[in-house]
């Protein structure tokens, strides 16, 4: 499963695995792919340094990367407290009423919400980069488009490739103009923030728009046959995220959530603004239904919505309130039916790729 990009990065298979869990990222790299650690949850530099130290020890000297969340434009002089003050009381009451309806217990006294929007602020991302550039990362990906120009230049000065996600050919063209090295074409089927164009349409559009830059296909990919299809559409690899959530190396801290993921079908997700204020594909739950229903107050724009629901999400997760319990995940969740080690998932991906290539060779009359 080699492409020009995989050869450039020195990996065996052109499979890029995004995950918030260092154990999963390292296992992807060891299996011959390219593990990409999501950094958004690391608000303390020492925590990121600890996990990058761990990855260095457990990646067998093979390459890996980091995914950050940085806006291309910065708003000066606005603090988290300033943003908190913009949240209407009616929305706060809606959160309280929804939690009370489902009997969600409070957090312990003095316990802070585990999920905060601070990881989305540029200042935090820059402290993450100060740490990351002390390690031999080979790729820096940004989930909010092109990172600021000085960050791109800094990465290139350290021989680090820069990738950015795009949901349309127009977005991809802007990335190319900004000096990005790799465009991740993320289709509608993907988990988390995603646009409205499906992968089968988006991938070739982006490939044509940014040629000769390499493109990775993302969104709804969870089999070797789909990776073969992505390469046939012109991509130089596949970017997989959701598929790793039910691996044995993942650390969701919730058996109830793992059970919901394993039981979900491909139609059990929804693009909702309930989590961050931007459309993000996630498990459909009574929480998303409440926010998306006509009786609700409507979601707030980013970052207000994320701040509004941070404590509520932490309470739901800690106490495993199943009707409200969810997570960002793509439509590929329908294929995630058992807990398996990363290596086992990789073995299935490579076998499926071989089957697809053999099938096409037979159709083309090239089989032996």
Tell me how far apart the alpha carbons of residues 101 and 94 are, in angstroms, rounded to a whole number: 10
Tell me how far apart the alpha carbons of residues 290 and 267 are, in angstroms, rounded to a whole number: 18
* CA-based nearest residue to 193, from 25, 71, 319, 99: 71
CA 321, chain centre distance (Å)? 24
| Sequence-ordered list of residues with C-beta below 8 angstroms from that of 360, at least 6 positions apart, any chain | 228, 232
Cα 192–112–119 angle (5° rounding)? 40
User: Token pair for residue 164?
Assistant: 């950015």
Q: Name beta bridge partners: 240.
A: 17
Tell me how far apart the alpha carbons of residues 162 and 193 are, in angstroms, rounded to a whole number: 19
* CA-based nearest residue to 247, from 214, 222, 230: 222
Residues lower than pLDDT 70 in the chain: 71-80, 112-121, 367-368
The per-residue pLDDT for 197 is 97
Q: Tokens 């940014």 sit at which residue? A: 210
Three-state SS string over the chain comes to CCCHHHHHHCCCCCEEEEECCHHHHHHHHHCCCEEEEECCCCCCHHHHHHHHHHHHHHCCCCCEEEEECCCCCCCCCCCHHHHHCCCCHHHHHHHHHHHHHCCCCCCCCCCCCCCCHHHHCHHHHHHHHHHHCCCCCCEEEECCCCCCHHHHHHHHHCCCEEEEEECCHHHHHHHHHCCCCEEEEECCCCCEECCCCCHHHHHHHHHHHHCCCCEEEECCCCCHHHHHHHHHCCCCCEEECHHHHHECCCCCCCHHHHHHHHHCCCCCEEEECCCCCCCEEEECCHHHHHHHCCCCCCCCCCCHHHHHHHHHHHHHHHCCCHHHCCCECCHHHHHCCCCECHHHHHHHHHHHHHHHHHHHHHHCCCCC
**Side-chain-facing half-sphere of 49: CA atoms under 13 Å:** 7
Backbone angles phi, psi at 363, to 5 degrees: -60, -35
Backbone angles phi, psi at 145, to 5 degrees: 95, -155
The per-residue pLDDT for 206 is 98
Stated pTM of the model: 0.93
């Amino acid at each position: 499963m080699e492409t020009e990009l995989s050869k450039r990065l020195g990996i065996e298979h052109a499979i890029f695995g995004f995950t918030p869990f260092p154990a999963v990222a390292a296992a992807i790299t060891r299996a011959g792919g390219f593990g990409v650690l999501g950094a958004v949850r690391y608000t303390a530099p020492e925590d990121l340094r600890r996990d990058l130290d761990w990855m260095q020890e457990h990646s067998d000297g093979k390459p890996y990367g980091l995914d950050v969340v940085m806006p291309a434009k910065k708003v000066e002089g606005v603090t988290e407290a300033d943003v908190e003050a913009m949240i209407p009381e009616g929305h706060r009451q809606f959160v309280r009423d929804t939690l009370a309806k489902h009997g969600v217990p409070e957090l312990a006294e003095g316990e802070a919400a585990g999920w905060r929007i601070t990881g989305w602020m540029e200042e935090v991302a820059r402290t993450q980069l100060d740490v990351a550039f002390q390690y031999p990362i080979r790729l820096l990906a940004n989930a909010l488009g092109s990172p600021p120009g000085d960050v791109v230049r800094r990465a290139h000065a350290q021989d680090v490739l820069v990738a950015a996600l795009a949901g349309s050919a127009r977005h991809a063209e802007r990335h190319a103009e900004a000096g990005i090295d790799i465009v991740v074409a993320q289709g509608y089927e993907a988990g988390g923030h995603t646009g409205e164009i499906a992968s089968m349409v988006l991938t070739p559009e982006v490939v044509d728009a940014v040629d000769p830059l390499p493109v990775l296909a993302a969104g709804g990919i969870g089999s070797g046959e789909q990776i073969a299809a992505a390469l046939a559409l012109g991509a130089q690899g596949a970017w997989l995220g959701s598929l790793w959530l039910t691996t044995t190396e993942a650390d969701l801290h919730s058996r109830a959530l793992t059970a919901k993921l394993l039981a979900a079908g491909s139609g059990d997700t929804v693009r909702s603004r309930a989590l961050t204020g931007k459309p993000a594909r996630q498990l459909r739950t009574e929480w998303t239904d409440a926010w998306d229903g006509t009786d609700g107050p409507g979601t707030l724009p980013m970052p207000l919505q994320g701040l509004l629901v941070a404590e509520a999400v932490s309470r739901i997760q800690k106490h495993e309130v199943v009707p409200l319990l969810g997570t960002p995940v793509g439509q590929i969740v329908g294929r995630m039916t058992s807990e398996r080690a990363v290596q086992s998932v990789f073995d299935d991906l490579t076998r499926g790729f071989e089957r697809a290539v053999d099938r096409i060779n037979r159709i083309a009359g090239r089989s032996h």
